[in-house]
Amino acid sequence: MINSIDSIRAQFPVLMQDSLNPKRFAFLDSTATTQKPLEVIEAMNRFYKEHYSSVKRGVYRLSEKTTQAFEKTRRDVAQFIGASSENEIVFTRGTTESINLVAWSYGRRFLKENDEILISALEHHANIVPWQLIAEERRAKIKVIPMDDDGNLLLDSLEDLIKPDVTKILALTHVSNSVGTVNPIEEIIRKARAISPSTKILIDAAQSACHLNIDVQKLDCDFLAFSGHKIYGPTGIGVLYGKSDVLESMPPWHGGGEMISQVTFEKTTYAAPPARFEAGTPPIAEVIGLGAAIEWLNQVSLSKIEAHESKITQYALNALRQIPEVQFLGNPKERGALISFTLKGIHSHDAAMILDEENIAVRSGHHCAQPVMDRFGVSATLRASFGVYTETWEIDRLITGLSRVIRLFR
């Protein structure tokens, strides 16, 4: 068990490379992507150096070793999110592909004209655009759960928005990447099930999987998606969880090797999930890296991570509130490890460039959430976001950097 945050930060090479610099690197963009601990980097390097081979296609020792490591990750992912079986875990390229898989497989099979897809006003584009595409093809309709001025969803609207046998899909973010709102998904799922038991529920856990403990069986969601690179693992690998019976009902969305049972020129029959949805040679090194990241997270403990990030977020909120020019994007009842804000009279991109001169990394822009920006009447915000390695001195550096920004634009 790792107890010291200092010892955790020391495991991230990128964060330690200029540790003697008076302007030490302050990385405050973990919502976009997390840095990688040495354990993940070394696990991927070992694969390339010691047993690089394909999976499921060879009986020789290297291939068997690689296949064992690959499938161990699937079992570890299932345990990490509380799935009942590793066969409920599909590997994808990321959260975006996972949502697209559901839209183009489940949606194409089961949506019909005038059916409805319900999303929320807090969604990332990745949980909007795939539904728009399939809705246009199937002539279905998209409905939106509204939010208030603080960035909280108006849950009283669910009774009017969810319609039995009409609302086929509810797709909802767990934690907003733009406002930071932690949605009460347990309550939402419970209400949705009471109104329309047949509605399939997808949770976008891209911003929650490495911050909060998740148990898909307790949640009773039908699908859950997240990305490896946001949980201290590599890019190019993601996870789609799906209930076994739901995955069994879905057709493949990609065709190729390994997702088949039998192929002739006249007809192809398909493998059972998850293989049905994993056509072609998979991202083997990335899967192994994901497995290492999950092992690392389990060693550190998500409960400890959540407690640390909560303290850092509150520290940052208190500090930012002392700057009169800061205007927060929303004020949610429960906030994740991120803060979006603007500086009065200063464009966010200009501010971010000046902060970069101070060796401070924050995100600026619409954060792939343009409808959220439109709701609050802004084109872009600054976003400071935190991880297990974030320390209070980085927040202090941010405050000093923002003071310089404000002085320059006075």
- Which pLDDT band, with edges at 50, 70 and 90, does 4 fall under? low
From CA 347, how far away is CA 69, in angstroms rounded?
A: 47
Q: What is the pLDDT of residues 222-268, one digit of tens each?
A: 999 999 999 999 999 999 999 999 999 999 999 998 898 899 999 99
**What integer is the mean pLDDT of 312-321?**
98
Top CATH class, 42-298 = alpha beta
Helices (H) and strands (E) in the chain, counts: 16, 15
Tell whether the model's pLDDT for residue 45 goes beyond 90: yes
For residue 313, CA distances in Å to 307, 308, 373, 386 come to 10, 9, 22, 7
Choose the CATH number for 5-30+301-409 among 3.40.50.300, 3.40.109.10, 3.90.1150.10, 3.40.50.720: 3.90.1150.10
The domain locations on the chain are 5-30+301-409, 42-298
Which residues are catalytically annotated? Answer: 368
With a CB cutoff of 8 Å and minimum separation 6, the contacts of 190 are: none
Question: Tell me, what's the pLDDT at 2?
Answer: 47
Tell whether the model's pLDDT for residue 32 goes beyond 80: yes
DSSP-H helix ranges across 344-391 = 348-357, 370-376
Taking the CA atoms of residue 243, residue 244, residue 249 and residue 252 in that order, the dihedral angle to the nearest 10 degrees is: 90
From CA 23, how far away is CA 331, in angstroms rounded?
A: 31
DSSP structure class, residue 298: H
**What integer is the mean pLDDT of 299-318?**
96
Say what percent of the chain tops pLDDT 90: 93
- Residue listed under structure tokens 């009017």: 160
- Which pLDDT band, with edges at 50, 70 and 90, does 3 fall under? low
H/E stretch holding 67 reads helix 61-81
pTM comes to 0.96
**What integer is the mean pLDDT of 142-153?**
98
Question: Tell me, what's the pLDDT at 18?
Answer: 78
Question: Tell me, what's the pLDDT at 56?
Answer: 80
